[in-house]
């Protein structure tokens, strides 16, 4: 991640805040305001209470994610599917270079409080790396962590995550589960952590597959896990068996607070920091959070639809995970309805709304998507509703029930009438050439 940050700094793509910023609410407010006005990442050079600079919105733009996987303007999901079939590098474990890492404490890290009613400072970008207690298969997953002390972080494990299953099996055996929390690993690790692969496959093997040449790992100092060498901050610890303590409230990705609950406890055994490290901060529910969450769902929907329906071009989740937009090369009437039904069956928690668009629509711009719905056919007959279907983890709450689908495509027999108007030269024009 450091190389990527420094590349954006040198090219002027990174916004920089030089003044001191308070990590209690002020930093999050600046990030949120910056995200309202730009998709550019932002760097805080001086964060009160910590020597580490903080970076945010690294993954907040789908075009940047596309550049990371080399899609070069093509369909993101198609390029991801190609990478899944390609060969790659290998994991290579090496020893720490002298002086490259130093030991630290939780209290040395930025203590960032994000939302008004959050219980306190949280780790939001942590990628948990753990090995299956039965098979040894490593898993990568995102989980939040509440700062308690230098020795304790309280974490929430999602009900469907592989890490939750690892921990449950360890707990049944009366054992703690060793985990490494990665903050600021190489971007390929974040992409792998957000990717949908079968639970019996190694996400670290996926990292190697997505990498040209050897991918360096290093042994942890306190637990028996190898971690990506170039990770900025690594918290080593173990999830204690049969221990639950109050965690929350916290403002989660759906835009609401999660109430206080008795959740798992991570006993911190050590913290290692790279020399001149950057700390990655992520606002849950922000564009950066949604773009990473989108990786898992959009590629999963694409893979399913592409195997069952012709003409699937790409999939996005705009503006958030509950709305899936599918771009198609429409080949017959009724195809959008098939896409709607197929997409709804992929993930019962998150695919709440499906919008199907033609290939000339910007699927990442909900304004453009809804414009297509309103102008390419009657509004009343192209909406499909499915009542009483439970959704999301809170399946017992009716506000999360129901499904809806929108056919935003033009009729095949009237395509000439729906040719979009264009302004010649607009795509290549640089406004900076005209403004002073």
**DSSP string for 334-369:** THHHHHHHHHHTT-TTT--EEEEE-TTS-TT-HHHH
Retrieve residue 293's tokens: 């969450």
What domains, with CATH codes, occur in the chain? 1-57 (no CATH), 88-276 (2.30.110.10), 288-414 (3.40.1670.10)
Please answer whether residues 180 and 123 qualify as being in contact, where contact means their C-beta atoms are separated by less than 8 angstroms: no
Q: What is the DSSP letter of 333?
A: T
The one-digit pLDDT tens for each residue of the chain (436 residues) are 898 899 999 999 999 999 999 999 999 999 999 999 988 999 999 999 999 999 999 998 888 888 888 776 668 888 888 877 776 778 999 999 999 999 999 999 999 999 999 999 999 999 999 999 889 899 999 999 999 999 999 999 987 788 999 999 999 999 999 999 999 999 999 988 888 777 788 889 888 888 878 999 999 999 999 999 999 999 999 999 999 999 999 999 888 899 999 999 999 999 999 999 999 999 998 989 988 888 888 989 999 999 999 999 999 998 888 999 999 999 999 999 999 999 998 988 789 999 999 999 999 999 999 999 999 999 999 999 998 887 765 556 677 788 999 999 999 998 889 999 899 999 899 888 898 7
Matching residue, tokens 């499904």: 403
Strand partners, 204: none
Q: Give me the pLDDT at residue 84, please.
A: 76
> What is the distance between the alpha carbons of residues 355 and 264, in angstroms, rounded to a whole number?
38
Q: Alpha carbon of 104 to those of 235, 270, 276: distances in Å?
A: 9, 7, 13
Check residue 109 and give its pLDDT: 97
Q: For 149, what's the count of Cα atoms within 13 Å in the CB-facing half-sphere?
A: 5
Distances (CA, A) of 38 to 13, 41, 42, 81, 111: 11, 8, 10, 29, 25
pLDDT per position as a tens digit, 74-112: 688 888 888 777 767 789 999 999 999 999 999 999 999
Token pair of 53, please? 């600079």
356: phi then psi, degrees, rounded to nearest 5: -110, 125
Sequence-distant (6+) residues with CB within 8 A of 328 are 311, 312, 313, 335, 336, 339, 356, 357, 358, 359, 409
What sign does the CA torsion over 362, 364, 368, 374 have? positive
- How many degrees, rounded to 5, is the angle at CA 168 between CA 167 and CA 174? 90
Q: What's the confidence (pLDDT) of residue 393?
A: 59
Give the per-residue pLDDT at 391.
72
DSSP structural state of residue 417:
G
pLDDT for 66: 82
Using CA atoms, how far apart are residues 254 and 435, in angstroms rounded to an integer?
39
Residues 12-42, buried b or exposed e (16+ Cβ, 10 A)?
eebbebeeebebbebbbebbbebbeeebbbb
- Using alpha carbons, list the distances in angstroms from residue 236 to 2, 107, 214: 21, 14, 24
pLDDT tens per residue across span 309-359:
999 999 999 888 899 999 999 999 999 999 999 999 898 878 999 999 999
């Amino acid at each position: 991640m450091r190389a990527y940050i420094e590349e954006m700094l040198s090219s002027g793509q990174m916004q920089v805040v030089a003044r001191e910023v308070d990590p209690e609410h002020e930093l999050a407010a600046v990030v949120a305001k910056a995200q309202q006005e730009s998709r550019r990442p932002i760097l805080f050079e001086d964060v009160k209470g910590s020597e580490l600079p903080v970076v945010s919105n690294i993954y907040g733009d789908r075009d940047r994610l596309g550049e990371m996987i080399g899609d070069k303007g093509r369909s993101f999901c198609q390029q991801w599917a190609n990478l899944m079939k390609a060969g790659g590098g290998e994991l290579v474990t090496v020893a720490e270079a002298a002086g490259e890492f130093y030991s630290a404490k939780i209290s040395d890290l930025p203590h960032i409080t994000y939302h008004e009613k959050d219980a306190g400072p949280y780790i939001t970008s942590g990628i948990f790396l753990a090995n299956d207690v039965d098979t040894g298969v490593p898993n990568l997953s995102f989980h939040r962590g509440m700062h308690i002390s230098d020795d304790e972080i309280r974490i929430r494990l999602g009900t469907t995550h592989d890490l939750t299953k690892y921990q449950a099996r360890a707990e049944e055996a009366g054992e703690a589960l060793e985990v490494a929390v990665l903050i600021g690993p190489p971007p390929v690790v974040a992409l792998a952590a957000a990717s949908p692969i079968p639970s019996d496959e190694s996400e670290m093997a996926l990292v190697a597959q997505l990498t040209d040449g050897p991918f360096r790992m290093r042994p942890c100092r306190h637990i028996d896990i190898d971690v990506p060498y170039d990770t900025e901050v690594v918290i080593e610890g173990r999830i204690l068996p049969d221990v639950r303590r109050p965690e929350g409230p916290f403002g989660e990705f759906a835009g609401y607070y999660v109430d206080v609950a008795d959740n798992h406890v991570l006993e911190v055994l050590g913290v290692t920091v790279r020399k001149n490290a950057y700390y990655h901060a992520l606002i849950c529910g922000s564009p950066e959070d949604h773009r990473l969450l989108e990786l898992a769902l959009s590629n999963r929907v694409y893979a399913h639809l592409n195997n069952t329906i012709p003409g699937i071009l790409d999939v996005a989740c705009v503006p958030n995970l509950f709305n899936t937009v599918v771009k198609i090369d429409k080949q017959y009437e009724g195809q959008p309805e098939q896409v709607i039904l197929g997409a709804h069956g992929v993930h019962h928690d998150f695919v709440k709304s499906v919008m199907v668009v033609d290939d000339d629509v910007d699927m990442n711009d909900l304004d453009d998507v809804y414009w297509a719905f309103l102008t390419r056919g009657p509004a009343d007959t192209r909406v499909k509703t499915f009542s009483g279907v439970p959704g999301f983890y809170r399946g017992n709450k009716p506000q999360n029930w129901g499904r809806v689908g929108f056919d935003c495509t033009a009729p095949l027999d009237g395509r000439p009438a729906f040719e979009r108007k264009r302004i010649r030269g607009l795509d290549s024009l640089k406004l900076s050439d005209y403004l002073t």
